[in-house]
Amino acid sequence: MKTVGIINVTGYAGVELARLLLRHPAVRITQVTGRSEAGKKLADVFPHLSELDLTIQPELESPSDVVFVALPHKAAAAVVPSLLATGARVVDISADFRLHDVAEYQSWYQVDHPCPELLSEAVYGLPELHRDRIREARLVANPGCYPTAAILALAPIADLINGPVIIDAKSGISGGGRSLVLTNHFSEVNENCMAYGVHGHRHLPEIVQEIAELRGNHLDAPSVLFLPHLVPMTRGILASCYVPLRDRVSEADVRQRFRAFYQGHPFARVVDAPPQTKQTLGSNFCLMYPTVDSRTGHLVVLSCLDNLVKGASGQAIQNMNLMFGWDERLGIDSIAVYP
């Protein structure tokens, strides 16, 4: 059994990690941290985790084989170097190690990076693109929730993109975290739908970075318009991606391309009908439906996942499984909760 520490179990990503890892057959959660509830029994704060007899600590007290860091950006980067120094494998769920270019990070996140020397070592934790490198990694930068949905939707046709891509995405409220913010109150969100990040959302550079890498040096970086929306549900992301293509392609060819690209990737599933967020609730699957709009010739890809599972904690566990040489499905192959 490998030992696991979770930094920030008091956030949504952290507590979801605890829920999923509790049933993982090859690990044991030995320490959890969270400033606001330090000193309390985990079961008193989160009764659904009552099987775990742990006290929430202010900080990790001893080394673990793997540590999941579920802190906000900047706070995450501040703790990662000391964790690596203990010999732990680290999966960071924040944005701190996702971008390869420190200037890009600093301009989008408006903070100085405390350990830019680790950016070249960190592996972007999207197993469908970087599985072999994740296996060898000490530090994995778990992708953002919107980028996971968008990059998986665009990756199979990255080389065919010809013109601005539009990613119109909707997310449930848990994507905004557990901290109290006025815009996330029930009466603000219920029966409401709103766009945000209209002048640029921080997830955009990750999407561009990964798609540009897939296109290689001979093609321009893609031009991407990414517009997120908040909708009144707890979990889930639906990303509708509109893609102008270089050549007209048939729907059958596109679907074949998607299926071939994701062959052998258990959590990226090409589906035969437009997917819905409820079909991914609580599961680690990303469902994708590519279709060609015959009027414009645009490719439309609908991509759907649970932001806290494939968009965060489930994917983090998928990465851990790869880092330890296990089947990547271990502990995270449950199917969606329906209805």
Ligand X SMILES: NC(=O)c1ccc[n+]([C@@H]2O[C@H](COP(=O)([O-])OP(=O)(O)OC[C@H]3O[C@@H](n4cnc5c(N)ncnc54)[C@H](OP(=O)(O)O)[C@@H]3O)[C@@H](O)[C@H]2O)c1
Reduced to 3 states (helix: H, G, I; strand: E, B; else coil), residue 92 is strand
Nearest distance, CB of residue 125 and ligand X, angstroms = 11
User: 205 phi and psi, to 5 degrees?
Assistant: -60, -30
Closest separation in Å from C-beta 177 to ligand X: 2
* Residue of 115, 145, 193, 286 with catalytic role: 145
- Kindly tell me which of 10 and 279 has the beta carbon lying closer to ligand X: 10
**Is 193 among the catalytic positions?**
no
In the complex, which residue's CB is closest to ligand X?
A: 177
Of 275, 339, 332, the C-alpha closest to 309 is 332
- CB hemisphere CA count around 85 (13 angstroms): 5
**How far is the CA of 2 from the CAs of 7, 26, 39, 295, in angstroms?**
16, 6, 24, 54
Is the CA virtual torsion 71, 75, 123, 110 positive or negative?
A: positive
Look at the alpha carbons of 15, 16, 17, 21 in this order and tell me if their dihedral is positive or negative: positive
Contact residues toward ligand X (CB under 6 A) are 8, 10-14, 34-37, 70-73, 75, 93-95, 144-145, 174-175, 177-179, 307-308, 311-312
Closer to ligand X by CB, 114 or 244: give it.
114
* Closest separation in Å from C-beta 254 to ligand X: 28
Measured from the CB atom, is 290 or 315 closer to ligand X?
315
Nearer to ligand X, 80 or 161 (CB): 80
DSSP assignment of 284-296 = --EEEEEEE-TTT
Shortest Å, Cβ 216 to ligand X: 28
C-alpha to C-alpha distance for 13 and 304, rounded to whole angstroms: 18
What is the set of active-site residues?
A: 145
